[in-house]
C-alpha cells in the first residue's frame, strides 16, 4: 500500500543525515523504524498477555503470599 508521509523539516533533515551515515535511503530507514516499532509493540502485547495469564493462574498463590 502506498502512503504519503509529511515530515516536519527538522525531522526530514535528521532522517537525511542518519540515512546518509548508514548508507541507506530514507525510505529504507523509515521502513526499518516502523518494523522495529511494530516488533516492540507486538512483543510488549505478548508479554502483557503472558503476565495477565500467569497472574490469573496464580491468583490463589498471590493471595496466600499477601497474607503471609
pTM recorded for the entire structure = 0.72
Among candidates 21, 2, 18, which has minimal Cα distance to 10? 18
Q: Would the pLDDT of 68 be above 80?
A: no
Reported as a pLDDT band with limits 50, 70 and 90, residue 66 is confident
How far is it, in rounded angstroms, from Cα 37 to Cα 24?
A: 19
Q: Is the model more confident about 6 or about 68? A: 6
Identify the H or E element spanning 26. Answer: helix 26-57
Q: How far apart are CA 67 and CA 54, in angstroms?
A: 19
The DSSP code for 6 is -
Amino acid at each position: 500500500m502506498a502512503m504519503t508521509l509529511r515530515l516536519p523539516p527538522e525531522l526530514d533533515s535528521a532522517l537525511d543525515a542518519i540515512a546518509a551515515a548508514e548508507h541507506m535511503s530514507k525510505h529504507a530507514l523509515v521502513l526499518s523504524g516502523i518494523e522495529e516499532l511494530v516488533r516492540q509493540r507486538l512483543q510488549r502485547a505478548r508479554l502483557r498477555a503472558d503476565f495477565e495469564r500467569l497472574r490469573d493462574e496464580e491468583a490463589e498463590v498471590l493471595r496466600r503470599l499477601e497474607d503471609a
